[in-house]
Amino acid sequence: MSNSLRIGIAGLGTVGAGVVKILAERSTHLTAACGRPLELVAVSARDKTRDRGIDLSGVRWEDDPMALASAGDIDLVVELIGGSEGIARELVEASLKAGKHVATANKALVAHHGTALAQAAESKGVALNYEAAVAGGIPIVKAMREALAGNEIRSIHGILNGTCNYILTEMETTGRDFADVLKDAQDLGYAEADPTFDVGGIDAAHKLAILASLAFGTEVDFDNVHIEGIEKISATDIAFAKDFGFKVKLLAIAEKSDDGIVQRVHPALVPEGTPLAAVSGVYNAVAVDGDRVGHLVLEGRGAGEGPTASAVLSDIVDIARGLIVAPFIVPATKLKAPARPLMEAHKSSFYLRLRAVDRAGSMAAITRALAEASISIERIVQRGGKGDDSGRLPVVFVTHETDESTMARARTLLAQHEDVAGTPLMIRIEDGELR
């Protein structure tokens, strides 16, 4: 049998500990599957005394993770520290420079520096694998790299953040509002104490930037992802959406347009009965539209010890088997600079909720204002009741297709209208591509 693949792991949090457990518990199977043993040589983490429920006897402890990059007895560095800068970036760059393979679950690092890291890996003939960086246990990176390589990808639609999906699912099920459900998610460990990256859409945008590069052969382009979070979504919106036959989801979308690749993350109304509408709780899903395979949907757990550690192991196994491929399918030097179409040109139908003064003639005045802004209305729903503390009642408009710039002007006009309180909430309706 050939020599073992010698592994060093930086970061022993939930995922790192999970990787150690799989390496120990599945050792015999993994050796047979890889044709060589997988040997955990060294680890590095902040606190050596912490009980992680794993056996590290016989494994070298390094206080400084950078020691893994220079160690002569390590072939593969597994980076599970996290963060786009600092020690995580330094470790990955140093490891690649030293001619070591790298496997990482760090979506922020790959989203911000993926192109440069891919160039570094390719120059040394080593692997840069990151299956665990996108959608947890769903093997979407491997699918894009290998199974779908013969396809021209037309679009990707994903539910890529389990925290947001859990919150929106609970709001729909219980009728509670965002802040209340977010607190529950934090208590259950589904959301961080500072949930900004999750609920603000940034985490999903990191993952989308990676998928877009894989799908379209472009440089990773996180800076040009349009990002909106779910903080302004209310139980009222979810109830209205249900009445209309939709569910509210945080979608991550990458698609070709005449002007280039559009990347956008935002709440959307998704038709009930479609695969993405059915994805609930902490689950993730990715829908890929290819010219040969058609519409393909992969669904599974998007985070947690088991799914993410499983994804890391898939990367390790590929490396042990000698499967070294370009990180973004085509060589990094051939990745195209992405064209960056303006979000303002995007067209869709829109859900528009505002708070209207409860008086005779207010609805007619608001409707006239929308017509003057070139917005064509498909449906209006006004619910009776006592309104909010200022006496305003929620009113929802569903528009016919229009572009973002026209809708932005309409919202500005309505925000200044005497019969409207505040700036109306807008949610895009994603329909045709998801059926």
> How confident is the model over 121-139, as pLDDT tens digits?
999 999 999 999 999 889 9
Provide the 10 A C-beta neighbour count for residue 187. Answer: 9
Work out whether strand 283-290 and strand 377-382 pair parallel, antiparallel, or are unpaired: unpaired
Helices 27-34 and 305-320: crossing angle in degrees, nearest 10, is 40
Provide the 10 A C-beta neighbour count for residue 305. Answer: 16
Residue with tokens 């998928």: 211
Q: Which of the 8 DSSP states describes residue 245?
A: T
Residue with tokens 């600079």: 337
pLDDT of residue 1: 43
- Which ranges of 226-335 would DSSP assign to H, the alpha helix? 235-244, 305-320
CB-CB contact of 159 with 276 (8 Å):
yes
- Tokens standing for 298? 């992969």
pLDDT of residue 385: 47
Query: Pick from 108, 95, 30: which is nearest to 316 by CA?
Result: 30
Helices 162-174 and 235-244: crossing angle in degrees, nearest 10, is 80
pLDDT of residue 435: 53
Three-state DSSP class for residue 328: coil
Compute the residue count for the chain.
435
pLDDT of residue 317: 97
The segments of the chain whose pLDDT lies below 70 read 1-2, 383-391, 432-435
Amino acid at the residue 131:
E
C-alpha separations of 312 from 29, 44, 101, 135, 306 in Å: 16, 17, 13, 12, 10
- Tokens standing for 237? 């919106």
Q: Report phi then psi at 140, rounded to 5.
A: -75, -35
Structural domains in the chain plus CATH codes: 5-133 (3.40.50.720), 140-303+333-343 (3.30.360.10), 346-434 (3.30.70.260)
- Tokens standing for 97? 């420079």
pLDDT of residue 391: 62
CB-CB contact of 291 with 154 (8 Å):
yes
Could you tell me the pTM of the whole model? Answer: 0.93
C-alpha separations of 18 from 12, 79, 295, 300 in Å: 8, 13, 33, 18
pLDDT of residue 383: 67
pLDDT of residue 343: 82
CB-CB contact of 43 with 61 (8 Å):
yes
pLDDT of residue 305: 87
Active site residues: 207
Kindly provide the b/e burial profile for residues 13-37, where b requires at least 16 CB atoms within 10 angstroms of the residue's own CB: ebbbbbbbbbbeeeeeebbeebebb
Distance of CA 222 to the CA centre of its chain: 12
Q: Which helix (H) or strand (E) holds 352?
A: strand 347-357
Q: Which of the 8 DSSP states describes residue 218?
A: B
In the chain, DSSP finds a helix count (H) and a strand count (E) of: 14, 17
Three-state DSSP class for residue 380: strand
